[in-house]
Amino acid sequence: MKRFTKILASAAAVVALFFSTNVNAQTPNFGIGANVGVPTNNDFHNLSLGVDARIQFNVVKQLSVPVTVGYTHMIAKDNAFAQGAEVKDYAFIPAKAGLKYFFSPTGSGLYALGEVGAAFGVSERSKTAFLYSPAIGYSWSSGLDLGVKYESISKAVKYTDDNMGHVAIRVAYGFKL
């Protein structure tokens, strides 16, 4: 956990330094989204549902720094057992920051997004873990945003040594603050 804390603190310092030197930064955007997905690389869950809020600091039209927080719930499969106990649903609060790059100079359209952060486990037998999330999507100038993301959570539950993850479709609406 010490290593993760150092990485997160370093990333926060870089973002803060960048914004303190960029006095011409554009107005930030705020968005609210919902996602539904399929858990990967584990035999314990069969569906993931989540909501999130994202503030996006626009550096230039094509590049922004998003900060996202939300809630994700992975629904356990019936009769799934690990280490002699029945597997329960897994829920976590993702808190992450990253970079979002629009391929169009207009600042909308097709984009790529990469975020890192922490997954704060809120269900039984869960723990705080490192999280990373690459995504691709399309953002319309009206504020509608549709994307596909993968989230990987490192060793998030105490009943498995495997990483957990899910592939999800995210639908969101954003607006300028």
What pLDDT, on the 0 to 100 scale, is given for residue 23? 43
The secondary structure element, H or E, covering residue 71 is strand 63-76
Give the position of tokens 């597997």.
87
Cβ 8 vs Cβ 118: under 8 Å: yes
Q: Among 43-47, 65-69, 81-85, name the most confident range.
A: 65-69
Q: Please return the burial class of 77, using the count of CB atoms within 10 Å of its CB with bins 0-12, 13-18 and 19+.
A: middle
Question: For residue 25, is pLDDT > 70?
Answer: no
Element (H, E) at 94: strand 90-102
Architecture of the domain defined by 25-176: Beta Barrel (2.40)
> Cβ atoms within 10 A of the Cβ of 71, count?
15
Question: Which pLDDT band, with edges at 50, 70 and 90, does 84 fall under?
Answer: low
Least confident of 6-10, 36-40, 77-81, 104-108: 6-10
Answer whether 36's CB lies under 8 Å from 126's CB.
no
pTM for the full predicted model: 0.79
Residue 147 has pLDDT above 70, yes or no: yes
pLDDT for 157 equals 65
Q: What percent of the chain has pLDDT over 70?
A: 77
